[in-house]
A and B are shown apart, each in its own frame.
Chain A
Amino acid sequence: MKLRAVIAIIACKLTKFILRVMKRGGTNLPGKIAVKICPSVLGVMARGVTTIIITGTNGKTTTSRMVEQCLEEAGFSYFANRSGANLLTGITNEFAMNSTIFGKCRKKYAVIECDEAAFRHVSRYVDAKHIIVTNVFRDQVDRFVELELTMGGIRAGIENSPNATVCINADCSLTTSLVKNVKNRVIYYGVDCPIYEELVSEVSDAQYCINCKTEYNYDYKTYGHLGSYSCPNCGYRRPDTEVYVTEVVSSDLDSTTVKIKMSEDEKILRINLPGGYNVYNAISAAAVAKGMGIDENKIITALSSFECGFGRMENFDIGGKNVRMILIKNPAGCNQVLNFLTNTVKEKCLFVTIVNDRISDGTDISWLWDANFEKLEELGDRLPMIYVGGLRADDMANRLKYAGRSLDRIKVIKDDDMLLKEIDKAEVDVFIMPTYSAMLSFREKISKRYNLKSYWEN
């Protein structure tokens, strides 16, 4: 058994090395090989490592980076699965890279972003000490089929982790239902006030009480189905929060400033990322850091000096203009981006959406019809043109047409290289909104062309 694990780790490291020499960023293959040789190798390596698992539908990657920043600030020795490889194989690979060939981890802490569906499997091998569930939204319909299944997976993961402190988004009625019957210590975090003055109209993923199916009452909503909900029939309601935002002080294209409460004292926190969804990411990171006993001032410093995660509102400087890349992958996340952009864009700019339908994007693109692209038209002459790319560019162009955009303000450019050339030519700031696989390939194109760092090197 032990020998098998050693062989698995060696095979994993070797494959990774070969891929690196070949300059390939394959993040899944080495782990795949390791799991094939010894399925429980992850369990061997994770023993003795204090592991923080971040799961949920939206915000996993950014939250993980924020947690990392907190650990960094506190001077902890840690590693993280930074490239977004968040399935059992990718996580196994990351542990192997940070272990000796005998499976002894060189770091004390592990910050692990974990896919919702993979969590139940990963948690069989990793005895997490801290868990964050960011939220539960409808995502990649063809992979999970139902919210119930997604939630069942996360619930099983929590049940496999009896020693974990679980940080739960109090504003998400689906998420809070996950810890109804667990004995774990639970830290509820949330936003105790509205975030936006005006919300895009969107489909709610949880309009009816999860227990008795009565329609919820809301004191306020922050976005989607998140907010202060209560069921008038059975009394199921948003739990009291332990770490929370009391007020959104200001927000712009680069940051949001909030008042946050983790103990008696209210503190001002400037989150170094824009958008309401990042308020949630920051507050969840603060919750886990508090649970780990990290000093509050260090948490505040960490979150305000935070720099952007891979593809999540990443900033490039190309030819004297600002190019921002923001991942879109489901209606809730996409509506957040649209919300944010229409609330904050002041100058003329160019939008680019790149829509693929590979497995990692979700093969069903019908969600585009649930995202409120109509909202973009409020930008008027600030948004004279949208470029559309990717495998399903035609569907996206069509969506924009039905969202009220005139045809001469939409340009379909299916070829990535051509698209990048056109972006290069633009004289205004650019917002690129790609789906997952489009983000990976387009980011690589940008890196190559402008000599930026490749993601697997960090």
Chain B
Amino acid sequence: MEELKICYLYPDVLNLFSDGGNITCIKKRLEWRGMKADVTNVSVGEKFNANDFDMFFIGGGQDFEQGMHLKDLMGEKADEIRKAVEDEKVFLAVCTGFELLGNYCKSTTGTQYDLVGAINMHTEIEKERFIGNYCFESEELGSLKIVGFENHAGRTYLGDGVKPLGKVLKGNGNNGKDFTEGARYKNVFGTYAHGALLPKNPVLADAIISAALERKYGRKIELSPLDDTFEMTANEYMISRLGCE
């Protein structure tokens, strides 16, 4: 039986936007197909070895707690994360978790914080937050329309060698200027989308699962189709409400 070992980073700190729903989603979609997910929580003060896992998840959190986990993050954890990314392990990183993978973040007062540097990008914090439902389109997944809820003060700018996850159709995405949303680099899927994201974007969920299975077992593993009626009606409802049909 195929199994994915998932490392959930900072589930008790980066937990503001209920992104844990993505883990629930991946777990269920594997189980419904007779496969398994084994989720390990790794938080402040705990170590992990990148080789032990097939997939990593990091969610969004609030600024209040950021001071704490930055110190924790920027030692061995950052090294392991960079190693895992280069080793083509699958990452789903949302909002704060997404920003953390970049080179640095600049605060509104101009202070610069070094970040993990797993992806060539950086974030600048601005006063005004981008808040609301939004929609973007992934070329890689056959013009797939993805919906989610963004809520961020960070403006992220992608550097060389990094592609966006999608093109913004409605809303702001990475920075509200260049229509990019999220990032794709090796097997990293970075995004600002909450919702939770995957349950209402089942095609993306399966793409991420497929990438992880392929990386682990060294071959393509066919995912049997599921009844995605609820998933797709939730998805299509928001696409049409945003006028993105």
Contacts and interface: CB of A to CB of B under 8 A. Distances in A.
Interface string B40-51: 000010000000
A207 B18 CA distance: 16
Interface in A381-397: 392, 394-395, 397
Given A204-B12, A213-B68, A367-B18, A402 B25 contact: yes
Interface in B219-239: 227, 229-231, 233-234, 237
Nearest to A404: B28
B63 A146 contact: yes
Contact of A363 (B20, B129, B132, B229): B132
B199 A398 contact: yes
Interface in B103-157: 129, 131-133, 149, 151
A397 B233 CA distance: 10
A178 B168 CA distance: 41
Given A213-B68, A364-B151, A369-B24, A399 B199 contact: yes
Contacts of A147: 62, 64
A413 B75 CA distance: 51
Range for the number of chain B residues in contact with chain A? 35 or more
Interface stretch (A83-91, A137-145, A265-273): A137-145
B76 to A, nearest CB: 19
Interface residues of A, number: 33
B210 interface: no
B65 interface: yes
Nearest to B11: A203
A386 to B, nearest CB: 13
Interface string A142-165: 100111100000000000000000
Contacts of B68: 208, 213
A370 interface: yes
A145 to B, nearest CB: 7
B200 A398 contact: yes
7 contacts: A207-B13, A208-B65, A366-B149, A367-B18, A370-B21, A394-B230, A399-B199
Contacts of B28: 402
A148 B62 contact: yes
A308 interface: no
Given A148-B62, A398-B234, 8 more contacts: A141-B17, A147-B64, A207-B12, A213-B65, A364-B194, A367-B18, A369-B20, A402-B25
A368 interface: yes
A366 B200 contact: no
A412 B17 CA distance: 25
A146 B62 contact: yes
Contacts of A370: 15, 18, 20-21
Nearest to A210: B64
A428 interface: no
Contacts of A407: 227, 229-230
A388 to B, nearest CB: 10
Contacts of A368: 18, 21
A364 B149 contact: yes
B234 A145 contact: no
B196 interface: yes
A215 B65 CA distance: 12
Interface in A339-380: 363-370
Contacts of B20: 203, 369-370
B237 A402 contact: no
Interface string B46-62: 00000000000000001
A207 B68 CA distance: 12
Nearest to A410: B230
Contacts of A397: 230, 233-234
Contact of A142 (B13, B131, B234): B131
Contacts of B194: 364, 366
Contacts of A138: 16
Given A148-B62, A208-B68, A366 B18 contact: yes
A141 B233 contact: no
B195 A366 contact: yes
Contacts of B62: 145-148
Contacts of B15: 203, 370
